[in-house]
Structure 1
Amino acid sequence: MNTKTVRHMYVTAAVAVAFASITSCNGSGGEQDSKQDRGAGVVKVDPIAALRSVQAKTKGADSARVEGTTVMGDAMSMKQSGAIAWTDGLTGTIEITYTGGTMADSLKQAGVNGPIEARYFKEGYVVNMGAATAQQSGGKHWISYDYDDLAEVAGAAGEVMKDQLQNTTPDQGVKSLLASGDVKKVGREDVRGVTATHYSGTVDVAELSAKNSSLDADQLAQLKKQLSDAGITTEKVDIWVDDNDLLVKKVERGQMKTGEFNSTVFYSDYGTKVSAERPAASDTVDFRELMQKGTS
């Protein structure tokens, strides 16, 4: 694998880290039916008032521990765990392990065999992909990403990602259901030993993204085209809420042209202490520098 390919792969893989944090709070996928929604077990009641209480309570909790898995077709599957806070933008530290897909295969070929550490700040995030990264970046272990730069590279989809990363909280899954107009209370279920109420609904991804961002007409048209090209239209959102009106689990499922999208996240220890220390500048390289070297 030549140097140019390796550098580009590191940049691409690390950009995927952004989606790990988004899916920990709010993500997007496609529609996929749930068997639990089709039988007599569905309790059709008006859950709007209850969900508004959950949204307010979860948003006001300020921080939590997260643990989850994400699958994006045959491109990648990963698991993530850590702690995040959302009082002033998304901050925190998450450990990410690529468990399958073409991305994991490419990383292994390049010498990245262990977990990846990501630290999130208000204006961007940094990623440590281990010693293999340092060999391609002048001995520096951390790659830094600025949300404005990512938005510029990714176009309209980047603008949406920037908004989500800077403003998102775990209650975004609740907001998605409130905005969907298709909310069902499924019933009471056990989530890791906690009795929780299960709600379910289907969300139009493009419509929700437009509502939750400041895209102009041209950017919105570009976003819809990007989503359409990827085969993304709607997503199925399921959340579980404990008796304290706090989110304890969220599942988002769907279908893309490259395969199934599936994100499952568990939340616990609300109010936990969260830290995200910036690495030394001497050990950090900007992703734009890698992009320039990768195309030179």
Structure 2
Amino acid sequence: MNDSVRHRAAGAALAALVLGGGAVGCTKGAPEESPALTPAAAVAKAAKKTEGITSLRYRMTGKVPEQGKVGGEVAMSMKPLAMSMKMTSGDQAADGPVEIRLVGKAMYIGGGAEAAKDMGGKHWIKFDMSAMGADKELNADQLGAGTADRNPAAESAFLTGSKDVKKIGAETVGGVRTTHYKGTVALDDFRKSLKGENGTTREAREKSLDQYAKMGVDSLTMDMWIDGADHTKQFRMRGTADKGPLDMTVTFLDYNKPVTVQAPPAKDTADLAEMMKGLKEN
């Protein structure tokens, strides 16, 4: 694969890895917090509401290690698993957005005219997840597929592990009135707190923690904006990884609505498995 195509794909995938993130909701209305509801309890209530999410759509912007600035929009369905992500990263913004589609067991990465020049005029490259072992440089986890099958609400629950979560005040986000909360989280402490969770919830959250551990992140400063229906409308995480700063904001547009993702036209797609097969034969 051409280095330019690989670099752009890696940037998009890294954002997918980090941006799996957050509880979601877009219910309009004023936040009506009970006087007895502490900041920690409000955050826990919002985290609990994420467990039934089956699909979502969100917008993201910020910085990730090595790649710098990123931005884009994602639509994802957990059951059945499908994802469509369009984003720009680093200095590739001038070449147009990279699009990633996850359909069944295949991931497709599409670029613009520059990418097509390196792939015989085709704009998409297909990664068959069942055959990823053929390429030692790329695998499902590196491309973001390893994170696509988990409920992205897992990261938002991290704030429940904060020992200093506090209420900042009422703020409007995307036309929705919300209450802003903020706290810091030591990820090791949060991992220890998961012992009381049920198996499915614990597994999803531990999987998210593992991804941050691989990046060298050991603590996060987190912000959540919770609407009047106890859903998180916006989510921000900041931390320091081995290879640079992490600062991402995710704004949720809707959830539990149908998400349909189609594979690109076969005639406009280069199949990595076939390409690798051809190289071995030569």
TM-score by length of 1: 0.68
CA distance in 2, matches of 1:289, 1:8: 19
* Letter matched to residue 75 of structure 1: Q
Gaps of at least 5 residues in structure 1 are: 28-42
CA distance in 1, matches of 2:19, 2:142: 18
SS in 2 for 1:241: strand
Match of 2:84 among 86, 90, 93: 93
Distance 1:154 1:54 in 2: 36
2:118 — aligned with what? 136
Runs of 4+ in 1 over 3 A off after TM superposition: 45-53, 121-124, 145-155, 157-163, 203-215, 256-259, 286-294
Matches within 5 A, 1:166-245: 166-169=149-152, 171-178=153-160, 180-182=161-163, 184-186=165-167, 187-205=169-187, 212=203, 226-228=214-216, 232-245=217-230
Judged with a 3 Å threshold, the aligned counterparts in structure 2 of structure 1 residues 223 and 57 are, in CA distance, closer, same or farther, namely closer
Would the alpha carbon gap of residues 291 and 255 (structure 1) be closer, same or farther in structure 2, given more than 3 Å must change? farther
Please give the secondary structure, in 2, of the residue aligned with 1:57. Answer: helix
What count of residue pairs does the alignment treat as equivalent?
254
**TM-score, reference length from structure 2:** 0.70
1:120: Cα distance to partner? 2.6
Cα drift, residue 292 of structure 1: 9.4
Stretch moving more, 183-192 or 235-244:
183-192
Deviations 1:230-265 (A, max 9, x none): xx3222221111111222101111223543211111
Q: Which position in structure 2 is the counterpart of 1:64? A: 56
The SS at the match of 1:275 is coil
% identical equivalent positions: 25
Distance (Å, rounded) in 1 between the aligned partners of 2:119 and 2:62:
28
Aligned-residue Cα RMSD (Å) equals: 4.1
> Would the alpha carbon gap of residues 161 and 10 (structure 1) be closer, same or farther in structure 2, given more than 3 Å must change?
closer
User: Is residue 165 of structure 1 aligned with residue 156 of structure 2?
Assistant: no
Amino acid at match of 2:141: G
Structure 2: where are the runs of 5+ without partners?
Answer: 23-34, 193-201
Q: Residues 13-62 of structure 1, C-alpha deviation per residue, up to 9 Å, x if partnerless? A: 213222333343329xxxxxxxxxxxxxxx9x744543343234334343
Deviation, structure 1 residue 122: 5.0
Against the structure 1 CA distance between its residues 97 and 47, is the aligned structure 2 distance closer, same or farther, given a 3 Å change threshold? Answer: same
